Amino acid sequence: MGTARVVFDRWDGRYAERMRDVRSSAVRDLFGAASRADVVSFSGGMPDVSRVPTEAVMEAMAQTARDFGTTALQYGSSEGRVELRGIVVEMMAEIGVRVRVDDLVITQGAQQALDLLGKILIDPGDTIITEGPTYLGALQAFSAYQPRVVTIPMDDEGMRIDALEAELVRLGPRGAKFIYTIPNFQNPAGVTLSPERRRRLIELAREYDVPVIEDDPYGRLRFEGGHAKPLRALDEDVIYLGTFSKVFAPGLRLGWVAAPRPILGKLLLAKQAADLCGSAFAQIAAERYFTGTRWRRVVQDLTGVYAGRRDAMLDALGEHFPGEARWTRPEGGFFVWAEMPAFLDLKSLLAEAVEHGVTYVPGDAFFPDGTGRNCMRLAFCYAEPDRIREGIARLAEVLEDRLELYRAFVDAGVVPGGPTAVGSERG
């Protein structure tokens, strides 16, 4: 008889209550398997930094050390360097958002902004609204502040505004602390909020007096279709999160928040408590890198590369995936969301997939309540097209094995056929 191994944590009973619901990141947990050479990883949303020219980075770093040495090695201001905020002002203007340097705080990636916003806005038991599925790093950051998370389903045009409205009616004015949304090439669903829905979302947020947090790491990585105005361009009260991670490098840990001044004031207090200030070295290096036009060519190149990988993934899905599968068709960004019949548990299938040399992130990581196990996020950003095709073929084999059983059940009338939510069309 086997004995279950009980892991005794002698610190139990000493942790703060707020850590109770914080789960480990499924993506971080897969890091080991995902970095094995024989495994095709569709799990991490890692930008292909090998496309960023080494000379450009070396030049920026050398200039930082040589010309800004004492400043770069010193503590800096908590809101971040005004020069870098000036660059952000210009970048935001290009996507239709007018902000001034005083409307911005530089953060350690958008991830820190999520944590700080949770810290200043959420009391235990507060309701917050997110898309379902949503970015697991946001769920992780917010969960430490113990909110009740209400998720709004999506379809191919992004968050379903009819469902959002129904929730807002149910919760009443100021019934939620905020609405958190990723309008462009959503992580993990890959879908984009249509312009009409953006307008309507802002109307509803105003009507029900609920702040909106717009997280936009992928907006510049559009492969096709027209640019849709950010929510922040429609309403100055929207709290906008940007990042240099996907257009330059996540290793610098640089992002920003544009928000109404009172929010920024509180955010700065929280940031001072968290880290006093961001790295001056990283900020100056980014300023050097983003001076001139080379960075634009790099973003253009990256966009082309990711578009090719998206195409490879969509083609391979069409060729290899089982007839019961549905998936989304992203116009940019990093991710495809695939859905299998409700019966299939893709979380338990993951170990088998890793054995077959392929990883993905099971869908339940992107929901607060463990739903979504029949779904998976497939990141196409990192692997080369040939590897993507190979990985999808391997994954299809693993799925086919399981589906044989499912088909037998459907034939016997024991379970209904067909999938359910996002990615309603096949291919």
Ligand X SMILES: Cc1ncc(COP(=O)(O)O)c(C=O)c1O
Contact 334, 44 (CB under 8 A): no
Compare residues 141 and 202 and give the one whose CB is closer to ligand X.
Answer: 141
Task: Count CB-CB contacts under 10 A for residue 57.
Answer: 18
CB of 252 to ligand X, least distance (A): 9
Q: What is the DSSP annotation of 294-355?
A: HHHHHHHHHHHHHHHHHHHHHHHHHHHS-TT-EE---SBSSEEEEE--TT--HHHHHHHHHH
Q: Which amino acid is at 80?
A: G
- Counting residues that bind ligand X (by CB under 6 A) gives 14
Q: Which amino acid is at 364?
A: D
The one among 41, 43, 111, 181 contacting ligand X by CB under 6 A: 111
Q: Which of the ranges 7-15, 92-100, 109-117, 271-279 carries the binding residues for ligand X, by CB under 6 A?
A: 109-117
Q: Residue 181 interacts with ligand X (CB under 6 A)?
A: no
- Cis geometry, peptide bond prior to residue 133 (ω within 30 degrees of 0): yes
- Site residues (CB under 6 A) for ligand X, limited to 299-338: none
Distances (CA, A) of 79 to 59, 107, 110, 155, 420: 26, 8, 14, 37, 45
Q: Residue 187 interacts with ligand X (CB under 6 A)?
A: yes
The span from the CA of 136 to the CA of 363, in Å, is 10
Compare residues 27 and 316 and give the one whose CB is closer to ligand X.
Answer: 27
The encoded tokens of residue 272 equal 């001072």
Compare residues 187 and 359 and give the one whose CB is closer to ligand X.
Answer: 187
Smallest CA-to-CA distance from 361 within 18, 13, 34, 20 is with 34
Chain centroid to Cα 160, Å, comes to 18
Site mask for ligand X (CB under 6 A), range 219-248, x = bound: ------------------------x-x---
CB of 254 to ligand X, least distance (A): 7
Q: Which of the ranges 56-64, 105-113, 311-319, 397-405 carries the binding residues for ligand X, by CB under 6 A?
A: 105-113
CB of 225 to ligand X, least distance (A): 19
The one among 133, 147, 217, 368 contacting ligand X by CB under 6 A: 217
The one among 30, 89, 91, 182 contacting ligand X by CB under 6 A: 182
Q: Residue 363 interacts with ligand X (CB under 6 A)?
A: no
Q: Residue 135 interacts with ligand X (CB under 6 A)?
A: yes
Site mask for ligand X (CB under 6 A), range 249-288, x = bound: -x----x---------------------------------
Contact 403, 324 (CB under 8 A): yes
CB of 215 to ligand X, least distance (A): 5
CB of 244 to ligand X, least distance (A): 7
Task: Count CB-CB contacts under 10 A for residue 23.
Answer: 12
CB of 117 to ligand X, least distance (A): 11
CA 304, 326, 28, 303: dihedral to nearest 10 degrees? 10
Compare residues 211 and 250 and give the one whose CB is closer to ligand X.
Answer: 250
Burial pattern 135-144, b for ≥16 Cβ within 10 A else e, equals: bbbbbbbbbb
Q: Which amino acid is at 188?
A: P
CB of 120 to ligand X, least distance (A): 17
Smallest CA-to-CA distance from 374 within 406, 330, 404 is with 406
Strands 40-41 and 335-339 turn out to be unpaired
CB of 109 to ligand X, least distance (A): 2
Compare residues 105 and 398 and give the one whose CB is closer to ligand X.
Answer: 105
Chain centroid to Cα 165, Å, comes to 24
Residue facing ligand X at closest CB distance: 109
Q: Which amino acid is at 308?
A: G
Compare residues 215 and 364 and give the one whose CB is closer to ligand X.
Answer: 215
Compare residues 144 and 393 and give the one whose CB is closer to ligand X.
Answer: 144
The span from the CA of 299 to the CA of 297, in Å, is 5
Q: Residue 215 interacts with ligand X (CB under 6 A)?
A: yes
CB of 246 to ligand X, least distance (A): 7
Compare residues 257 and 325 and give the one whose CB is closer to ligand X.
Answer: 257
Site mask for ligand X (CB under 6 A), range 342-361, x = bound: --------------------
Residues that bind ligand X (CB under 6 A): 45, 109-111, 135, 137, 182, 187, 215, 217, 243, 245, 250, 255
